[in-house]
Structure 1
């Protein structure tokens, strides 16, 4: 395996119809944990909101596209263990396929690929990979598992991506 890496920027945008975990207020105090291999990031807590807006960015170092990127949502509790509110995995393989196409001359806003929801991904809706100012960005709405309801909207972008295992040589500036 190459010791070179790429950096994956994950924009955590918002939660949609997240589960209620605080019965008295009929809401939750959600936060998100994003993890892979030996990295872990935690968002801020949004108080009393089942449709939170985070608008936070996290940058993960990626060496192998087959290493899962996990996203877990929790309800912050003051005196007890935080309650789980679902989880999902972020699949970057379709995004990597778009990078490997070598599409340097596309017009801004061109949709390179549309990834459809399936049993093998956590997508709640179609997920477009879009060419924008020399970069490919993928918007995703992930359906949370192991919970009665809830989705998380994110956006991903890979940069400095030369030498990642499972990816053809490609470098973005």
Structure 2
């Protein structure tokens, strides 16, 4: 952790139209992985449109490592079912962070960058990186891969570590 750049807080906001993996519903939770780090949200019972509003924080020491998101259906007696996955591209967010905007000149709500959906990312729609209350924030809606339906809404925040 000698080359720690900072902390990336990923707010897992909600799931939209997730796949059915049990009889009529699913018990979804999200797992976020980056290198050796693995974090997960709590399980929401019987809900295809769960609202987590949960913050998961990754230590960023290598910005080139992929951030993977996986959604699972919790099962009590059998292995949890996969409900899709996605790659989260944090490079545009980190590039905006390096811009180091001046809080005295940048207006609250200013858009620093827009990222369009492409084959290289899992975005469902254009994602905006904005300046909010003195911090850089990125809102994103991610389309899950390897599944019949589902999207996950996320928000990225950067946490500077004092003295770095």
Name the TM-score class by shorter chain: over 0.9
- Tell me the matched-pair count: 162
Map 1:76-87 onto structure 2 (within 5 A): 76-87=74-85
What is the aligned-residue RMSD (CA, Å)? 1.8
Contact 1:33-1:73 at 8 Å conserved across structures:
yes
- 1:111-133 C-alpha deviation (Å, 9 max, x unpaired): 11111100000101111001012
2:19 matches 1:19 = yes
TM-score normalized with structure 2 length: 0.93
- Partner of 2:96, secondary structure, is helix
Structure 1 counterpart of 2:27, from 29, 47, 51: 29
Q: Does 1:45 align with 2:43?
A: yes
The Cα of 1:39 is off from its aligned counterpart by 0.9
Distance 1:126 1:172 in 2: 34
Q: CA deviation at 1:11?
A: 0.3
SS at match of 2:62: coil
Which sections of structure 2, spanning at least 5 residues, go unmatched? none
The gaps in structure 1 that reach 5 residues or longer are: 162-170
C-alpha distance in structure 2 between counterparts of 1:115 and 1:102, whole Å: 19
